[in-house]
Structure 1
Amino acid sequence: MEIQKITQLMDLLSRSDLTELHLQEGEDLLKLVRSVTGELHPKGPSTIADVQPAGAERPAEKAAPAAVNETRHIFKSPMVGTFFRAGSPGTAPFVEMGARVAQGQTLGVIEAMKMLTEIESEIEGEIVEILVENGAFVEFGQPLFAIETLAMR
């Protein structure tokens, strides 16, 4: 990854409301983290929090479900980007309202910097709400889906 591109991303992060930015380009993974005051947090001697080969152990990028009640879980966006319900234009959405989903099943994708990240269900259940529109810009932590667990009904 080019230093000039990293510097531009750091500048963009410092001027935005974002606190984290994750980017994978080829085998490189870049993670920038900014404090509330706007300064980048160094992890070691560099202002870049993480740059590592894609084959190396990576932190989980999936958002953990947050319980709304005992049987309903809200899945939140693990990143900033554009949310899509289908893998490509003209194809059927991954899930519909009322659909039963298995753990690990793809619910949608988020595009950021021309890279698609699949959002997968972490529980078995039924889609009871789709909380964002297809093609909508989403923020980190924004609720995407409400899933009613099947085991607790």
Structure 2
Amino acid sequence: MNIELIERLIKLAERSGLTELEYSEDNSRVRFNFHPIEGAAAHCSAIQGPQVEPMTSPEAPSSLQQGHAVKSSLSGTFYRGSAPEEPPFVTVGDRVEEGQTLAIIEAMKMLNPIESPLSGRVLEILIDDGSMVESGLPLFIIAEEG
């Protein structure tokens, strides 16, 4: 099966609001149901408004020389908190531990945590809540602390 084609079809289905997608090729068949998973419903309804273009080329932050850039590991929608009415996981100035959740990225109806790769202090949050992000895009700047 052509995985790249399937990924493009999934993105198209999500953008168009389809609830199901079925694709078959030769003797293989794949079927997707795009229904929110429990706990993600608030985020799904929050992004049904105007679409935001992916942020792919942010200006280099001034604090990059002072800290470590935590980059997105996948493309999707960036959320600072676990739900719209919940406080963000971290704010500028917070002390974080290695492995602590900094944010989540929703991709293909899955919520994926973005964890701190080191212990330190949050110097900068580079992305607005609810923004689309691409893989490899810097999200946070963290100053390493021992």
From the superposition, tell whether residues 113 and 143 of structure 1 become closer, same or farther in structure 2 (CA, over 3 Å).
Answer: same
CA deviation after TM superposition for structure 1 residue 105, in Å: 0.4
Q: CA-atom RMSD, angstroms?
A: 2.4
TM-score (norm 1): 0.56
Size of the alignment, in residue pairs?
94
Q: Please show how residues 19-98 of structure 1 align to structure 2 within 5 Å.
A: 68-69=64-65, 72-98=67-93
Runs of 4+ that moved beyond 2 A: 10-13
AA in 1 matched with 2:114 = I
Cα deviation code 1:39-88 (max 9, x no counterpart): xxxxxxxxxxxxxxxxxxxxxxxxxxxxx54x510010000000000011
From the superposition, tell whether residues 7 and 124 of structure 1 become closer, same or farther in structure 2 (CA, over 3 Å).
Answer: closer
Secondary structure of the 1:9 match is helix
Q: State the match for 1:121 in structure 2.
A: 116
Q: Structure 2: 5+ residue runs without aligned partners? A: 11-63
Q: Please show how residues 10-21 of structure 1 align to structure 2 within 5 Å.
A: 10-12=7-9
Q: Once the two structures are aligned, what percentage of the paired residues are identical?
A: 45
Q: Which structure has more helix as a fraction of its residues? A: 2
CA deviation after TM superposition for structure 1 residue 10, in Å: 4.7
Structure with greater contact order relative to length (CA < 8 Å, sep ≥ 6): 2
Q: Structure 1: 5+ residue runs without aligned partners? A: 14-67
